[in-house]
Chain A
Amino acid sequence: MNIDWAALGTVFGVSLVATVALVGLFTLGIVGLSKQTAAAASGGSAPAARTGAYACFALCAAAVAYGIFLIVA
């Protein structure tokens, strides 16, 4: 019997960090966008929130691209 604890541990750690980081980023993006929408509704604008949101979404898109790369490779 040869249980690969190292591989299991790595999978656990990587999955945990990546999931939480991605979901966190995406949520920040959503929150940023909703701030922008709220600001627009009251006649103003929130450029920082908007830029930050797009940066978050870009990072998430990069993660998805990396995922597709992993599937193909």
Chain B
Amino acid sequence: MEHITLLLGIVIVTALVFDFTNGFHDTANAMATTISTGALKPKTAVAMSAVLNLVGAFLSVEVAKTISGGLINESGITTEVIFAALVGAILWNLFTWLIGLPSSSSHALFGGLIGATLMSVGASGVNGSVVITKVLLPAIAAPIVAGIAAYLATKLTFKLASKTDEKATAKGYRAGQIASAGLVSLAHGTNDAQKTMGVITLALVTGNVLAPGANPPMWVIVSAGVAIALGTYLGGWRIIRTMGKGLTDLKPPQGFAAQTGAATVILASSHLGFSLSTTQVCSGSVMGSGLAPKGGVVRWSTATRMFVAWGLTLPAAGAVAAAAEFLTGQGTWGVTAVAILLVAGSGAIWMASRRKPVDHTNVTADDLDFAAAPVPAAEPAGVVTTAIAAVTPPPAGAFPAETHSTTGDLKTTLHSPTPDPARPAASV
């Protein structure tokens, strides 16, 4: 370890920070519905997810051979490019967390890598058609596949259990949901902690600390696992709120069907060669099971903002990463400046989040007023600020309180009254 330069040290720390944001950004995938249906208490849920993420990090020996999945040509990658990519991904993750939108952490990392590569070697370093097949197509396919599966499963379970007492079956549904959520957490730890290990290992290889093709050292595996578990335990409550309550209202049977559908799609996709984003799968299955019962409703305004955020993930993280790569290319002062900007930007976003804090105490509250939450000015990168203006105001806004106390039939009348141009695209 004596050969680790300052830059390499910064990159390793930054990679672990990204891993941490990845953890708390994605807690919602496994635990949002578990928390909103009351299967587990909020703190218990995130603790369970954190432990399973940690376990998952140690489970697989299959280290991500390629961190970008062929999106960019990794042979000419430099430590600065990795650093810039991570900066872009972290800031985008924090920003989407601030406005409470679930978005794919992997896509943020891909976007960062693409942006930094474009800036450092130009368009020749990026494989355009892979961007479409690995990022754009899955982003469309994931919610459709998971949504239809969860929709049909929810229909079926309501039909089969229609003659039984709701109270008697709720306990069983919750138990099943916990099992499915556990599987999602485990799979997440395996995939996403591996990704960070891959990034750190690649940085160590480019810094000539490790031989090419080497396995990650033990300290890399341990630190990546711990970082993602800590992030998960901290819990991205804002995103949990959006997923668990903002998109739709779920009863235990729906939560169970949604989570089982998500677990199945994630495992099927990662083992049949068509990787789908965990976040997008889970959002899709939540919407599918939300629509299934009679009078079921999805809040398309929130869903639309989420789809917009998915579309912006790649360009926004890429733009920040490109700017960061431009600065790091100026020499040591540039790297220092980027590091300072990253800390300042993260701090500003955190400060902004304190204005309307969401934590385990109010994550399922009905009347949380989000209206003042987004402060785009806190984002240091102007490009992103402009681009993101489209997705504000934030989701999970104050629903009318009666939404939660009336029957399903009445909910249909609460459909967003504003005509939404993006609705046809969103109604998948």
Contact of A71 among B129, B156, B173, B187 (CB under 8 A): B187
Q: Are A7 and B272 closer than 8 Å at their CB atoms? A: yes
Q: When chains A and B are docked, how far (Å) is the Cα of A55 from the Cα of B387?
A: 53
Q: Are B260 and A23 closer than 8 Å at their CB atoms? A: yes
Q: Are B264 and A22 closer than 8 Å at their CB atoms? A: yes
| A48 interfacial by beta-carbon distance below 8 Å | no
Residues facing B in A35-50 (CB within 8 A) are: 35, 37-38
Nearest B-chain residue to A23, judged by Cβ: B153
Contact of A19 among B183, B186, B264, B269 (CB under 8 A): B264
Nearest A-chain residue to B159, judged by Cβ: A27
Q: How far is the CB of A59 from chain B (nearest CB, A)?
A: 12
A23 and B133 in contact, given A11-B269, A34-B169, A37-B168 (Cβ under 8 angstroms): no
| Secondary structure dominating the interface of B | helix
Q: Are A34 and B156 closer than 8 Å at their CB atoms? A: no
Q: How far is the CB of A64 from chain B (nearest CB, A)?
A: 6
| B161 interfacial by beta-carbon distance below 8 Å | yes
Q: Are A19 and B153 closer than 8 Å at their CB atoms? A: yes
Residues of B within 8 A of A22 (CB): 153, 260, 264
Residues facing B in A1-58 (CB within 8 A) are: 1-4, 7-8, 10-12, 14-16, 18-20, 22-24, 26-31, 33-35, 37-38
A33 and B172 in contact, given A19-B150, A19-B265 (Cβ under 8 angstroms): yes
Q: Are A24 and B156 closer than 8 Å at their CB atoms? A: yes
Number of A-B residue pairs at CB separation under 8 A: 128
| B378 interfacial by beta-carbon distance below 8 Å | no
Q: Are B272 and A3 closer than 8 Å at their CB atoms? A: no
Q: Are B261 and A19 closer than 8 Å at their CB atoms? A: yes
Q: When chains A and B are docked, how far (Å) is the Cα of A3 from the Cα of B172?
A: 41
| B210 interfacial by beta-carbon distance below 8 Å | no
Q: Are A26 and B164 closer than 8 Å at their CB atoms? A: no
Residues of A within 8 A of B253 (CB): 27
Contact of B165 among A23, A34, A60, A71 (CB under 8 A): A34
A24-B160, A27-B160 provided; 19 other pairs, C-beta below 8 A? A2-B133, A10-B268, A10-B274, A11-B265, A15-B146, A20-B152, A20-B156, A22-B153, A22-B260, A23-B156, A23-B257, A29-B172, A34-B165, A64-B183, A67-B183, A67-B267, A71-B56, A71-B60, A71-B183
8 nearest CB pairs, A to B: A23-B153, A30-B172, A19-B149, A7-B274, A27-B157, A34-B168, A19-B261, A15-B265
B residues at A contact (CB < 8 Å): 56, 59-60, 129, 132-133, 137, 141, 145-146, 148-150, 152-154, 156-157, 160-161, 163-165, 168-169, 172-173, 176, 179, 183, 186-187, 190, 253, 256-257, 260-261, 263-265, 267-269, 271-274, 276
